Amino acid sequence: MGLSEEQIGKLLEWFVKMSETRKRLSEQRRRALEENNKWIQPDVIRRMSDEELERRFIEYYKSGGGRQSLNQINRDRIIRDKKRFRETILYLLDEDIEIKERIEQILGGEYHIEGFGRGILTSFLMDYKPEKYCLWNNKTDMGFSVIGWRVYESKDLWGSAYLKVLEALQRIKDIRPDLNLSFLDIDLFLHTISAEEEGMRAVKAVTEGVDFNLVESKGEISVVTESMEFAMEKYLEEFIEANFNKIFGANLELYQDEESTGRQYPTPIGNIDLLAVDREKKEFVVIELKKGRSSDVVVGQILRYMGWVKENIAKDYNVRGIIILKERDEKLEYALKLIPNVSLFLYEVSFSLKKIY
């Protein structure tokens, strides 16, 4: 069951008045948008030399436009053909063409470039016209999931889905018009409630009718503690996705292509639990959760997935694997002694109660 508009309104007010994430990032993101807007304009891009366009794009991609993490492995693929890249960007910014058509043609049609997915595409759009367009990436979908909104269907075409995302974000803005929130603000709001500890605590508080001041005081109410504990083992995959950077560090990020996210990434041989990219080492990482499966099954499975990723996605880049399990498994450790590119990690589940009176 999703949150009511009243509950979402309370979360929005908390976000504006109390969120430390907003205080830390909001101004920085606003300045980045203003700087990006200066060059993400059709006339400016037409006048740029190939070298200047490449430099601008690499800087932009490396920073994620100042608000998201992007798979650096895709960067060189996108800018390899500079003429085609310029044509694609100018097509994206052509307001004489319906936005639905532009998105369809870029993500799956005539103007498609390998690696140029919805995250970077919609980032360009928002930097071009922030009052009209919004960012749409994994965190957007995670935020919708937190408030319980099913915004679009998997069968929807890219353009139709984006229009529904725009409508949903406008609907969130309209819940509290007095707060005068922009699409940039709503993007950070969705990120905060889905991926930041304070946001998760705020969501729990609003669903339980608890005063936000208690949430922020001494951590009496907590969804995720500083040691990143979580309540139920069966939610391990969801927890890892929501706290990916905290668990694995800034260099590792969930993979995202034009059609799928890194969680339960679909392949012809089965769904990969989590597919990630190491931005620093420029290699793909297949992450599998043991979840009660036998040692032989999980080893065979991760090696099959790694082989498929190498042949179909990574190509010239390396692929390594990570298996996450609850307890040490001697058979599994022996099986991996001769497979140096697969690592084992143990996790801990913790639950505690704190008496308040």
pLDDT tens digits for range 159-216: 999 999 999 999 999 999 999 999 999 999 998 998 787 898 899 899 988 776 655 4
Contact 136/165 with Cβ under 8 angstroms?
Answer: yes
Mean pLDDT of all residues belonging to the chain: 87
- 110 and 28 in one domain? yes
For residue 11, tell me if it sits in a domain.
Answer: yes
Q: Look at the chain and report how many structural domains it folds into.
A: 2
What are the tens digits of pLDDT across the range 279-310? 888 899 999 998 777 888 899 999 999 999 99
pLDDT at res. 265: 86
Using 50, 70 and 90 to split pLDDT, how confident is the model at 350?
Answer: low
Per the model's pLDDT, the better-predicted residue between 331 and 39 turns out to be 39
Structural element, H or E, at residue 273: strand 270-278
Domain boundary among 223, 244, 271: 223
The range of the structural domain enclosing residue 250 comes to 233-346
Task: Name the nearest CA neighbour of 202 among 5, 16, 19.
Answer: 19
Structural element, H or E, at residue 254: strand 252-254
| Residue 276 Rama label (left phi>0; alpha psi -120 to 50; beta) | beta
For residue 356, tell me if it sits in a domain.
Answer: no
For residue 354, tell me if it sits in a domain.
Answer: no
Neighbours of 53 (CB within 10 A): 20
- 114 and 244 in one domain? no
Domain boundary among 174, 199, 223: 223
pLDDT at res. 219: 41
- 331 and 255 in one domain? yes
What are the tens digits of pLDDT across the range 251-280? 898 887 755 678 888 887 888 999 999 988
Neighbours of 250 (CB within 10 A): 10
pTM: 0.68
Residue 11: C-alpha distances to residues 29, 31, 170, 192, 258 (Å): 20, 25, 16, 10, 31
pLDDT at res. 230: 40
For residue 357, tell me if it sits in a domain.
Answer: no
Using 50, 70 and 90 to split pLDDT, how confident is the model at 355?
Answer: low
Using 50, 70 and 90 to split pLDDT, how confident is the model at 56?
Answer: very high
Report whether pLDDT(224) > 60.
Answer: no
Domain boundary among 170, 190, 223: 223
Using 50, 70 and 90 to split pLDDT, how confident is the model at 220?
Answer: very low
CB burial readout 207-229, b (16+ within 10 A) else e: eeeeebeebbeeeebbbbeeeee
Distance CA 252, CA 250 (A): 6
Report whether pLDDT(70) > 80.
Answer: no
- 256 and 118 in one domain? no
For residue 40, tell me if it sits in a domain.
Answer: yes
* Mean pLDDT, residues 331-344: 92
